[in-house]
Chain A
Amino acid sequence: EVHLVESGGGLVQPGGSLRLSCAASGFTFSNYGMNWVRQAPGKGLEWVSYISSSSSTMYYADSVKGRFTISRDNAKNSLYLQMNSLRAEDTAVYYCAQRFAYWGQGTLVTVSS
């Protein structure tokens, strides 16, 4: 059974940094592209970033380009999202997703002073 568990969320001040992690199990992690998707409170879904299985290709939404970095460690079955220069509008639940077929339960990031 595919299982994705996000961690690393919390309260951070504007301009601060946070690193999210996603632990994967139940499938061959190194074979699949992975995504981060976020959802601000009471709002719709927003795709954030994609990384290919070998880390050779990465894409970002314009809203996070230059501030967020996606990465993965296939040996540890883990996906990461390094978030720098955080803004209030980055406040959201962040989901990792195996392509888009399987999703974790999300981790809440709150950017506030």
Chain B
Amino acid sequence: EIVLTQSPGTLSLSPGERASLACRASQSVSNNYLAWYRQKPGQAPRLLIYGASNRAAGIPDRFSGSGSGTDFTLTISRLEPEDFAVYYCQQYGSSPYTFGQGTKLEIK
């Protein structure tokens, strides 16, 4: 089983700032099948990035994903109020399709 470790656990920033969220895998993610999700309280997760660097439909270009192998990053270039939420990475290259424990992005 691939274990995903996200860092930091909590990130405190202000609107307009840049955010970088990390996801490290315990072994190489097959085909870089790494996704990022944003989850707001009381809502289902929303897919942001798939295949490590591809934006999902309707996702603004302030979201970008990078990385390969075992190290991946989600970058939000300019934080909007709706971006303050919990973010999860997930690998879907090999079963079981594991999630990271999440990074909470909070308003400073």
Chain B residues contacting A44 (CB-CB under 8 Å) are 88, 99-102
B35 adjacent to chain A (CB < 8 Å) = yes
Give the interface of A toward B (CB within 8 A).
35, 37, 44-47, 50, 59-62, 95, 99-106
Select from chain A the residue with minimum beta-carbon distance to B100: A44
11 extra interface residue pairs, beta carbon distance < 8 Å, beyond A50-B97, A105-B43:
A37-B45, A44-B99, A44-B102, A45-B88, A59-B96, A62-B96, A95-B44, A100-B35, A101-B47, A103-B45, A106-B44
- Contact between chains at B44 and A104 (CB < 8 Å): yes
- Contact between chains at B99 and A100 (CB < 8 Å): no
B56 adjacent to chain A (CB < 8 Å) = yes
- Contact between chains at A47 and B44 (CB < 8 Å): no
B92 adjacent to chain A (CB < 8 Å) = yes
- Contact between chains at A47 and B101 (CB < 8 Å): no
- Interface centre among A45, A103, A105, by most chain B C-beta atoms within 10 angstroms, is A45
Chain A residues contacting B47 (CB-CB under 8 Å) are 100-102
- Contact between chains at B44 and A50 (CB < 8 Å): no
**A33 to B102, alpha carbons, bound, how many Å?**
25
Q: Shortest Cβ distance from A27 into chain B, in angstroms?
A: 12
Chain B residues contacting A61 (CB-CB under 8 Å) are 96
